[in-house]
Copies of this chain bind each other. A is one copy, B any other.
Amino acid sequence: MIGQDAACCPGLASAPLDEDQAAELAKVFKALGDPVRLRLLSMIASRGEGGEVCVCELTPAFDLSQPTISHHLKLLRQAGLIDCERRGTWVYYWVLPTALDRLAVVLKKPTAVEALA
């Protein structure tokens, strides 16, 4: 999981990443480097902040077994991108509010950030 504060994480283009920073970030990008996980994440994230999705709504969108979907969701969770809670029969997933924003900050060129300031 990347740091709690966007300001803590230098942009990819502002200075060469050190080994620890690269190892942390690579975990998150690796979690995003799969089409099923990207679709799952976008299905969850498009509910907006505070929104959540039942796993029973996610599974039917894929031609994959529920254990496979659950495995992909687990990898997204381990990367700090989503969280979940079991309530009764189903598990509900939501996006961690600042996780995607933090990645966006890391990817932004310093010049682009300055242009917005």
Contact = CB atoms under 8 A, between A and B. Distances in A.
A26 B32 contact: yes
Nearest to A23: B35
A17 B39 contact: yes
Contact of A42 (B22, B33, B61, B101): B22
Given A49-B111, A107-B100, A16 B39 contact: yes
Task: Describe A's contact surface by its main secondary structure.
Answer: helix
Contacts of A26: 32-35, 37-38
Q: Which bucket holds chain A's interface residue count?
A: 35 or more
B12 A100 contact: yes
Nearest to A26: B35
B49 A35 contact: no
A46 interface: yes
Interface in A21-52: 22-23, 25-27, 29-39, 41-43, 45-46, 48-49
A39 B16 CA distance: 6
Q: Which 9 A-B pairs rank lowest in CB-CB distance, beginning with the nearest?
A: A30-B33, A13-B45, A29-B32, A22-B35, A29-B33, A104-B107, A33-B33, A104-B104, A17-B42
